[in-house]
Amino acid sequence: MTDLDIVFDYPFKNPLHRLIMLSIQVTGSGDGGKEKIITDKRLREFCCCSSSELITAINFLTEEGFICKRNLGLQMGTPASGYTIAVPEHLRGD
């Protein structure tokens, strides 16, 4: 299973989880690697859910191993994080 399989084919129980994964896949600036730098404001703007629902969903995805999140502090005066889509341990076919 690849990170693209996770984004497009994994059967998430909450549609917000897939929306976050798609947003990370297509948004943000990358440095040529897999990490996407996305401002907190940009993440909040892509969805009509509340901030608390978004934070809860991102925390779930992080805790379950679907994304790795790195706090980058202020980027051009706006809080930002680095997000990397990952394949959780329990889904790896090693």
pTM (predicted TM-score): 0.86
How many whole angstroms from its chain centre is CA 15? Answer: 13
Contact 72, 32 (CB under 8 A): no
pLDDT (tens digit per residue) in 12-69: 999 999 999 998 988 866 565 688 888 888 888 887 888 899 999 999 999 999 999 9
For 82, the token pair is 């680095």
Contact 63, 69 (CB under 8 A): no
Residue 29: predicted pLDDT: 63
Pick the CATH number of 3-85 from 1.25.40, 1.10.3470, 1.10.1670, 1.10.10: 1.10.10
DSSP code string of 63-93: HTTSEEEEEEEEETTEEEEEEEE---GGG--
